[in-house]
Amino acid sequence: MLAATDVSMHGPKQVAALAPTGSGKSLSGLAPALLIAAVRGERTVISTESLSLQAQIVDKDAPVVATAVAYVLGLNAAQAPKTAVLKGWGNYSCGARTAATLADLTGFSATGPDDLDRALPGLARLSSVAASSTGKVGAKIGQAAMAGRTPIPRRTPGGKAAFVEVDGREYDAPAALAALRFACGEGPEPLEHRDVHHVETAPDVWPLVSTTTDACEGAAKCPFGSACAPTKAREHLADASVIVTNHKLLAIQAATGAPVVIGSKKTGPVDHLMVDECHALANIVRDTGAVTISGSRISGLARRVGKLLVDAGTVVDDGRAVADQVDVALASAVFEHRSASNRSAVTRLGENDDPLSGVAESILAWVDAARKALPSPATISDYATGIKVRGLLANLGSLASEVGDARTHVPGVARWLETDPMMALKTSPVDVAAMIRYNLFSADVPADGDPADFDPESFDDQEIGDGHFRVGVDGRYELSVTMMSATLPMRFAPSVGMTVQPVDYPSPFGAGHGNSALFIPQIAPGDEAALSPFGRFDTGSHPAWAAAMMTELVQANDGSALILAATTTAGKFYADALRKALRRSGSDIEVLSQWDGPPVRILLQRWRSDHRSVMIGTRSLMTGVDAPGQTCTLVVIDRVPRAAGNPVDDARVEQIRAGAMLDRWSADRLVYVADARLLLAQAAGRLHRSSSDTGMIAVLDPRLLRNNKFSYPEPTRKMLIGAVEHMGHKLSTLPQATGWLASHQGAGAHLTPAS
């Protein structure tokens, strides 16, 4: 795989690699990337699915490879190729936004970075109050704390936990104050690491201390610009040979065409693109390109307009009226399409349907009036107000452009109406291959290149700056592209615009797989009634049946487990049920769940540090979780993680049917079943993270077995079982499974030291 990647980077060519989790994919990409940087001065963007994987590459893998490259080439430390991280602007703390939140909550006025430092003692006192109080932590309590007094905690009998209110939204007070302290400078993190990945608090409070590029006026004009975290982080990009980013930023570029990563003046020329966990890229592009038009969205914008204007006039009332009109129009469209036999929360729209035909002009007129009512950002001296106005103007502009796009059918874009949790018109791109191919696999020649240096009509290699680009007839240059993952869906290459088929590289974990077990429970007497109260397999009844089995498996293994649920509701149920059962049995095994409050990365650290603990989560933990050795010797997957029917995947099914002339069920397997198989394989891959790892994968879904009442149709079953059937020991009863776990634990097989 490393050799193929190296060849492609001298092309430029494309590589799609299928290689098992834990086999060293990141090293096989980093080695040629850092080597070609040192030898030819060429630069690479590496994208990962999550911030945690991003951190692993930058903090763990890249320094090792850079040191090796320097050693082989005889370079000193200063000459070794460098790696930097590119995260979205909103991931970093913003001094201006932090000061604005401080002013809202406490009346404390900060006019520059030094003032934020001085706010820390008062915030510490306020945090102490919030930790021991209930109800709203209001401005008076905040002012007392910031003034040096320790106010009396506010206690509301039977009230909810302490919260703060900002811009009409409630936030958990301890979490919000922890984010504020971090953004004000608490802790050892350098300025460029003042980001959401390095703070130990719930991510939903992060908007209180961060902003977006639309709302930012730029470091040069901002009173906090001398200590701007995102600007400081981006200073490292110019000197970096490898830029590590995440799929979300790539998806923004693919969906909008904006040069967020590749072709950006800030990042500079880029010669090569590597995408790790590439199986997720197409869906992230679809999600990023999605649009929602709703009355709720418009009323929220109207509320924000009202908070920024002393005399809002009729603008706010008009906005609420337009929001009501939109709700009525969408409800009428739903009623028109809905039949007595179909009461689904989702209504598909046809080519000629325009649910906004009667209200689109009203929306656009209100957006125009709201824009005119707001002050020009250039005239605003108060930085806190300026941030809010710039962000609001950007949101209003997005609404205006998206209304027009949502009204019209466009091939390759799904449109539908939803009634739950709110009435909304939604759109999403379906076929994103062309977006990815044009916006990510090629780029405009960098602006600092002299147009006289190349001939757009030539296909010869052209020297531009320090890079070596192949320029096509459209004046754009091609990047080499390497995509890699442990699992790839069927038809992967065409779905992302690649012209090569994936190469399947062999697994180094054959012995570990052979010494591990797969447990899928067969139907026992009484199970049919428990799992099918309505005559068919019922996913709502399944968690109660599965929870009891999980408890026995965890106890037999003495913990050391990762439990993965198909839904959040089921995952929370398992966490509660397992904690109660272990307490009753007197066990001291700690049960953690991704819903416990702290960031998931902090919970995962706790799980890894206590090898007997159990971690429970849902789909976000089915990929990217790395715990080799004794921490994870039992992976329990409650059921096949198949997505519920939805307009985007239905449109993908129809697209395949039309292109391949398949029947509905065959096309459905290539979308819904193939996606479920992919996620099932990813989840099972959490067990083997090093060549010495062994253990059990338990999939508590009897539909995967043949010849029972709930069995999947055989083509579907065979496709799904292929994700996990490579385990050496096949077990189908709970006594078999608990006995195997007990003997496995007794043999000490799971006590291999973590790598």
Tell me the DSSP string of 276-307: ETGGGHHHHHHHHT-EEEEHHHHHHHHHHHHH
In the chain, domain spans = 2-89+234-286+433-495, 93-208, 291-429, 510-746
Mean pLDDT along residues 489-505: 90
Mean pLDDT along residues 475-490: 88
Mean pLDDT along residues 158-186: 87
Q: Is the dihedral of CA 154, 158, 159, 162 positive or negative?
A: positive
- Mapped onto helix, strand or coil, the DSSP state of residue 485 is strand
Question: What length does the chain have?
Answer: 755
Compute the distance between CA of residue 466 and CA of residue 351 in angstroms, rounded to an integer.
49
pLDDT tens digit sequence for 19-29:
877 778 889 99
Contact 99, 116 (CB under 8 A): yes
Contact 282, 432 (CB under 8 A): yes
Q: Residue 383 pLDDT more than 90?
A: no
Q: Residue 451 pLDDT more than 80?
A: no
Q: Residue 511 pLDDT more than 90?
A: no
Best CATH choice for the domain 2-89+234-286+433-495 from the list 3.40.190.10, 3.40.50.300, 1.10.10.60, 3.30.1330.10:
3.40.50.300
**Per mean pLDDT, which range of 7-16, 169-178, 342-351 is the poorest?**
342-351
CA nearest to 70, candidates 40, 47, 38, 101: 38
Which H/E stretch holds residue 424?
strand 424-429
What burial letters (b/e) apply to 448-458, b meaning 16+ CB within 10 Å? ebeeeebeeee
CA nearest to 45, candidates 1, 85, 2: 85
Q: Does domain 291-429 have CATH number 1.10.275?
A: yes
> What is residue 516's DSSP assignment?
S
Compute the distance between CA of residue 570 and CA of residue 371 in angstroms, rounded to an integer.
45
What burial letters (b/e) apply to 13-32, b meaning 16+ CB within 10 Å? bbbbbbbbbbbebbbbbbbb
Residue entry with tokens 């002013």: 103
Q: Residue 201 pLDDT more than 50?
A: yes
**Per mean pLDDT, which range of 276-285, 453-462, 593-602 is the poorest?**
453-462
Q: Average model confidence (pLDDT) for the chain? A: 87
Question: Is the pTM above the cut of 0.95?
Answer: no
Mean pLDDT along residues 450-460: 33
Mean pLDDT along residues 600-615: 90
Contact 520, 640 (CB under 8 A): no
Over pLDDT 90: what percentage of the chain?
A: 50
What is the three-state SS of 358-381?
CCHHHHHHHHHHHHHHCCCHHHCC
Contact 629, 754 (CB under 8 A): yes
Task: Report the pLDDT value the prediction gives residue 747, as an integer from 0 to 100.
Answer: 65
pLDDT tens digit sequence for 224-250:
999 999 888 888 888 899 999 999 999
CA nearest to 623, candidates 235, 232, 50: 50
pLDDT tens digit sequence for 61-110:
999 999 999 999 999 988 999 999 898 888 899 999 999 899 888 888 89
What fold characterizes domain 510-746? Rossmann fold (3.40.50)
> What is residue 479's DSSP assignment?
P
* Residue at 574: amino acid letter: Y
Q: Residue 453 pLDDT more than 60?
A: no
CA nearest to 360, candidates 321, 398, 329: 329
Assign 286 a pLDDT band (cuts: 50, 70, 90).
Answer: very high
The reply to whether 2-89+234-286+433-495 and 510-746 are identical in fold is yes
- Mapped onto helix, strand or coil, the DSSP state of residue 734 is helix
- Mapped onto helix, strand or coil, the DSSP state of residue 635 is strand
Which H/E stretch holds residue 51?
helix 51-56
| Count of Cβ atoms closer than 10 Å to residue 140 Cβ | 12
Q: Is the dihedral of CA 591, 593, 598, 604 positive or negative?
A: positive
pLDDT tens digit sequence for 633-684:
999 999 999 988 888 888 888 888 877 778 888 888 989 999 999 899 989 9
Mean pLDDT along residues 427-452: 78
